[in-house]
Amino acid sequence: MTALGILHPGHSADDDYPRLEQLLGSDIRVDVVRVDIDDPEPLARAVEQLRLTGAEAVVWAGTRESFTPGWSGAQGRVRALAMTAGLPASSTSLGFVHAAAEVAARRVAVAAPYAGTEAAGFADFLRAGGLEVASVHAESAADWDEARLLALVRAADTPDAEAVLVPGTSLRTVAHLPALEKALGKPLLTAHQVTVWEALRLTDRRVNAPRLGALFTREPIVQV
């Protein structure tokens, strides 16, 4: 059994995680604890809760919170989280950079379900991580059906983008991944999908789960 620990801000669309767990297989467990990363005492309690569940790695799942400190600030937060947890740690935003490398995408499009300034900040974060950003489309969203999700990613996509990234943790995307990727004809990376993949990467666990998109049909690359 591989146990993954997810620190999730709030409750938006976090029911995507049980769906991910189901599609990954019976020997992977995804434990989600809701927490505010800027409040040290509850954060420490949440991390201890994950340790008690047997988590082998921990990922902070708030995309906004993990890219707003910038590239070096995000890495510093992850190092602090790893020290607190005594476990390998990462964040969703760093996971997007690793996941893009996994699907061999150097040039990406960003379909961000929030304000334009935040979308631009995420694009800058990706550039600091070595990616080229072909386009950025920002559109405030809470929870959309498959048709609206497809419209969002198509609005961001460009012919030269090798993957489309959807950073918002407020969107339920897992059930729609196969259909959206088929429509795009290229990999689609979404926040909850990337978060769990990043946790698996930290445990060096390789999972083939095509219903979770192109990201889960290749062996993960171990990042240094």
**Residue 179 belongs to domain with CATH number:** 3.40.50.12500
Q: Which residues contact 80 (CB under 8 A, 6 or more apart)?
A: none
Q: Are residues 84 and 99 in the same domain?
A: no
Q: Are residues 186 and 201 in the same domain?
A: no
Measured in whole angstroms, the distance separating CA 127 from the mean position of its chain's CA atoms is 17
What is residue 4's predicted lDDT score, i.e. its pLDDT? 97
Tokens of residue 160, six digits: 């030269």
What is residue 29's predicted lDDT score, i.e. its pLDDT? 95
What is residue 105's predicted lDDT score, i.e. its pLDDT? 98
What is residue 95's predicted lDDT score, i.e. its pLDDT? 96
Does 124 map to a domain?
yes
Q: Are residues 49 and 136 in the same domain?
A: no
Residue span of the structural domain in which 88 resides = 2-92+193-216
Q: Are residues 50 and 118 in the same domain?
A: no
What is residue 142's predicted lDDT score, i.e. its pLDDT? 63
Q: Are residues 22 and 55 in the same domain?
A: yes
Q: Are residues 201 and 174 in the same domain?
A: no
Is the CB of residue 20 less than 8 Å from the CB of residue 193?
yes
Does 147 map to a domain?
yes
What is residue 99's predicted lDDT score, i.e. its pLDDT? 97
Q: Which residues of the chain have pLDDT under 70?
A: 11, 13, 36-40, 63, 141-143, 218-224
In terms of Cα–Cα distance, which of 212, 18, 7 is closest to 102? 212
Q: Are residues 138 and 205 in the same domain?
A: no
CA end-to-end distance (rounded Å), the chain:
24
Q: Are residues 64 and 122 in the same domain?
A: no
Does 221 map to a domain?
no
What is residue 206's predicted lDDT score, i.e. its pLDDT? 85
Q: Are residues 203 and 158 in the same domain?
A: no
Q: Are residues 122 and 12 in the same domain?
A: no
Q: Are residues 39 and 104 in the same domain?
A: no
Q: Are residues 13 and 77 in the same domain?
A: yes
What is residue 98's predicted lDDT score, i.e. its pLDDT? 97
Q: Report how far residue 190's alpha carbon sits from residue 168's, in angstroms, rounded to the nearest whole number.
A: 7
Q: What's the number of domains the chain is made of?
A: 2
